[in-house]
Amino acid sequence: MNILLIEDNLPIIKGLTYTFSKTNYHLIIKENIKDAKNYLLTNPNISLIILDITLPDGSGFNLYQNEIKNLNIPTIFLTASDDENQIVNALNLGAEDYMTKPFSSKELLARLNRILLRNEKKSLLKIKDISFDLDKMVVYKNNEKIELTSLELKLLNLLFLNLNKVVTRNFILDKIWEWTGNYVDDHTITVYFNRLREKLKSDIIITIKGMGYRIDG
């Protein structure tokens, strides 16, 4: 997937270039409105835009309203200000989300993943050799179906919907209670995830010691 970053801040460009180099996304960088407009004219195949509000040759708001909005490309605004009016303006224009500088690259990536999942109705997510059809709630390893229990599917789904983000053990405990009506202790969570790993025969589930679990996309 192609992600267009419209930003002139060099440290941000370098940071996001490094972050995206570890994903399956292709990050395209334009540092001003003129170059971004010219690129969009001939390259409409963009999955999402990350757009700075303040650019050297004008306003990101105007670029979005005059060019991007009609292309129906989901957009995340970047702003150096946490001014409520500016944030409300961004959302009212139709932006999917906004982030205030400085921000976490991993958090930006997690929000981007959720937006793409929602807007493109992408039902099949693939991490390494594991594919998860979120609509059918079916898991495959190298195209071979893996038989999981209902609870195991829900736990894996929880991690896939929060790619690059730690899902805490306390949150998992609350979700298990919500799903089953049963109280389980911390040790039981460890048992569940050990069984899930055994069935997947994959290392995609990362344990964050003392916190929870994560899958990186």
Quick: pLDDT tens for 80-95: 877 777 777 778 888 8
The DSSP letter of residue 206 is E
- Same domain as 9, residue 110: yes
Q: Left, alpha or beta for 98 (phi > 0: left; psi -120 to 50: alpha)?
A: beta
| Tokens representing residue 66 in the block | 């005059």
Quick: pLDDT tens for 124-154: 788 999 999 877 889 999 889 999 999 999 9
Range of the structural domain that residue 173 is part of: 124-215
- Rounded to an integer, the average pLDDT of 91-102 is 87
- Same domain as 132, residue 114: no
Mean pLDDT is lowest, of 65-79, 119-133, 202-216, for: 119-133
Quick: pLDDT tens for 25-39: 999 999 999 999 999
What is the spatial distance between Cα 23 and Cα 164, in angstroms, rounded to a whole number?
Answer: 10
Q: φ, ψ for residue 80 (rounded to 5)?
A: -85, -5
Mean model confidence pLDDT for the chain: 90
Q: How buried is 130 (Cβ within 10 angstroms: 0-12 exposed, 13-18 middle, 19+ buried)?
A: buried
One-letter amino acid of 67: E
What's the pLDDT score for residue 166?
92
| Tokens representing residue 80 in the block | 């150096």
What is the spatial distance between Cα 170 and Cα 172, in angstroms, rounded to a whole number?
Answer: 5
Residue 120 has pLDDT above 70, yes or no: no
- Same domain as 155, residue 115: no
- Same domain as 115, residue 141: no
Quick: pLDDT tens for 62-73: 999 998 988 888
Mean pLDDT is lowest, of 50-59, 70-79, 191-200, for: 70-79
Q: Left, alpha or beta for 38 (phi > 0: left; psi -120 to 50: alpha)?
A: alpha
**Residue 76 host element (H or E):** strand 75-79
Q: For residue 211, give Cα distances in angstroms to 2, 86, 170, 177, 186.
A: 33, 35, 8, 18, 11
Is there a contact between 155 and 193 (Cβ–Cβ < 8 Å)? yes
- Same domain as 22, residue 73: yes
- Same domain as 114, residue 11: yes
For residue 140, give the CATH number of its domain.
1.10.10.10
What's the pLDDT score for residue 37?
94
- Same domain as 74, residue 42: yes
Give the model's confidence band at 57: pLDDT under 50 very low, under 70 low, under 90 confident, else very high: very high
Is there a contact between 82 and 74 (Cβ–Cβ < 8 Å)? no
pTM of the model: 0.57
What is the spatial distance between Cα 62 and Cα 188, in angstroms, rounded to a whole number?
Answer: 53
- Same domain as 128, residue 114: no
- Same domain as 82, residue 171: no
Is there a contact between 91 and 80 (Cβ–Cβ < 8 Å)? no
